[in-house]
Structure 1
Amino acid sequence: MEDLLLVMLLALVPAAANILGGLVAEVVSLSERVFSAALHLAVGIVIAVIGLELMPRALAAEPAWAPLVAFTVGGGLFLGVDALSGFVQARVPGRGGGGSLGVYSGVALDLFSDGVMIGTGSVINPALGLLLAVGQAPADLLEGFAAQAAFRRAGVARRWRVLAGAGFTVPILFGAVLGYLVLRDAPEVVTLSVLSFTGGALLSVVIEEMIPKAHEARQSRLDSFYLTVGFVVFAVVALWLG
């Protein structure tokens, strides 16, 4: 029970960062360049999580092909969900909240994936769960900022924006509990494959949602630099936490 409580507390770290980002969006005017820079920073962090933490650990499984298959399935499943979301959204009358709802859904899926990673990582090693929680926090802060800003631009009432931001705690806590309870007694290859699966889904989120959204805004020559900085930020956190 204490271990489960620890996992939930770890999941609250990126959840709190996400909520904080949403609150900042309520008081700060968001230019297109700032929006693009924030998303590029978040992309760099997510890519670092996948490349520096998830896949190196996943490839230590026996057999190594299992997490590779899971990674591919994770990416493909997200593409299917994304296509279904687009199909439904195209049939919803009105344009005001469609884009903002898509952003919100994408962030919720990413938070669920974060929760699964934290829960699964904690099964492998509590230090890995801590690293994933702290490392994801900067990206989740930026995503919370972007989601809240999208609702604000769509004219959604403030009380609903605040409630929507608070609601981001649900998918990450659910994912963390699910990842921990279901996988704590599972074989290592299964645990590492689930970790790899979430990595594949996250990579698809980055490519299909975050980067295109960043490029819709006014671009800057520094955008690729911001992505690199985001990667380095997580690398520093990983080195610091060991």
Structure 2
Amino acid sequence: MVVGTVLAELTGTSRRTLSRALHVASGVVLAVVAVELLPESLGGAAPPWAVVLGLCLGGAFYILLEWLIERSAGGEESAGAWMIYTAVAVDLFSDGLMIGVGSVLSLQLALLLGLGQSMADLPEGFATAANFKNKGQPRGRRLLVAASLILPSLAGASLGYWLLRDRSEALQLTALAFTAGILLIAAVEEMLKQAHEVAEDTRLSAAFLIGGFSLFTIFASYFDS
């Protein structure tokens, strides 16, 4: 995330570049849901109804969070950059959660998950910093926002390890489904929406979307194996 932020600060962040970065980040988040979270949730001891309930509750939580941020920010347009930040923070929280739960099983597994997620999170860091830059936020605030992104990862890892390690597998998997519901709406309703608003969509934009999805999928496949 920090590398992506530095790239956004050092390079030009045109509206087209920002749109493409958001398409890549959306593809990554959708892949997290489709390749890791939902298959993991549905393939374990949790009953399907609990997984679906967790998914729906996660979506409802994000909708409520979006409403609260829009009210505090003074409108949907002002809240846009903060909703992108929220989506990325939630993604990082889910990364930490997976790493925390994985570390209960194996430190090597947790390390591999962390390395794979780090590579996939680079475009999200770029998109977050570029979006705040595009919204006219001062550099000091942008750097402070970037530095704060370590907190969701640590919180997720702590929660996954200390609170979920002694719980039932069904509860752990339902928590993953809850995170998947948040990320699903964040990617489709916020990241892609912002990407289409900052620049006109093109066929190449779709290529960046599938590229982000493929990037995470290839890393997840190799690290899982």
TM-score class normalised by the smaller sequence: 0.7 to 0.9
Q: Tell me: CA distance 1:38–1:56, structure 2 relative to 1, closer, same or farther (3 Å).
A: same
Output the CA distance in 2 between the equivalents of 1:238 and 1:102.
26
Q: Which position in structure 1 is the counterpart of 2:219? A: 237
Counterpart among 68, 81, 92 of residue 65 in structure 2 = 81
Q: Tell me: CA distance 1:27–1:233, structure 2 relative to 1, closer, same or farther (3 Å).
A: same
Output the CA distance in 2 between the equivalents of 1:36 and 1:162.
21
3-state SS of paired residue (1:186)? coil
1:44-63 maps to which residues of 2 (within 5 A)?
44-62=27-45, 63=47
Counterpart among 166, 176, 182 of residue 201 in structure 1 = 182
Q: Which position in structure 2 is the counterpart of 1:11? A: none
Does the CA contact (< 8 Å) of 1:66 and 1:193 recur in 2? yes
Q: Which position in structure 2 is the counterpart of 1:173? A: 154
1:54-203 maps to which residues of 2 (within 5 A)?
54-62=37-45, 63-90=47-74, 99-123=80-104, 126=107, 129-203=110-184
Give, as a single letter, the amino acid of the residue that structure 2 aligns with 1:195. L
Tell me the TM-score normalized by structure 2.
0.87
Count of residues in Structure 1 that have an aligned counterpart in Structure 2: 222
Give, as a single letter, the amino acid of the residue that structure 2 aligns with 1:79. I
3-state SS of paired residue (1:61)? coil
Output the CA distance in 2 between the equivalents of 1:59 and 1:116.
17
Output the CA distance in 1 between the equivalents of 2:217 and 2:108.
15
What per-residue deviation string (whole Å, max 9, x for no partner) do you get for residues 100-156 of structure 1? 444333333332233223223433555654454334324422222122223333443
Give, as a single letter, the amino acid of the residue that structure 1 aligns with 2:55. F
Does the CA contact (< 8 Å) of 1:46 and 1:136 recur in 2? no
Tell me the TM-score normalized by structure 1.
0.81
3-state SS of paired residue (1:222)? helix
Q: Tell me: CA distance 1:39–1:100, structure 2 relative to 1, closer, same or farther (3 Å).
A: closer
What per-residue deviation string (whole Å, max 9, x for no partner) do you get for residues 26-62 of structure 1? 1101122221111111111221221112111211233
Does the CA contact (< 8 Å) of 2:70 and 2:79 recur in 1? no
Give, as a single letter, the amino acid of the residue that structure 2 aligns with 1:46. V
Percent identity, aligned pairs only? 41
Output the CA distance in 2 between the equivalents of 1:105 and 1:236.
26
Q: CA RMSD in A?
A: 2.3
Gaps of 5+ in 1: 1-17
Give, as a single letter, the amino acid of the residue that structure 2 aligns with 1:208. E
Q: Tell me: CA distance 1:212–1:231, structure 2 relative to 1, closer, same or farther (3 Å).
A: same
Output the CA distance in 1 between the equivalents of 2:168 and 2:155.
22
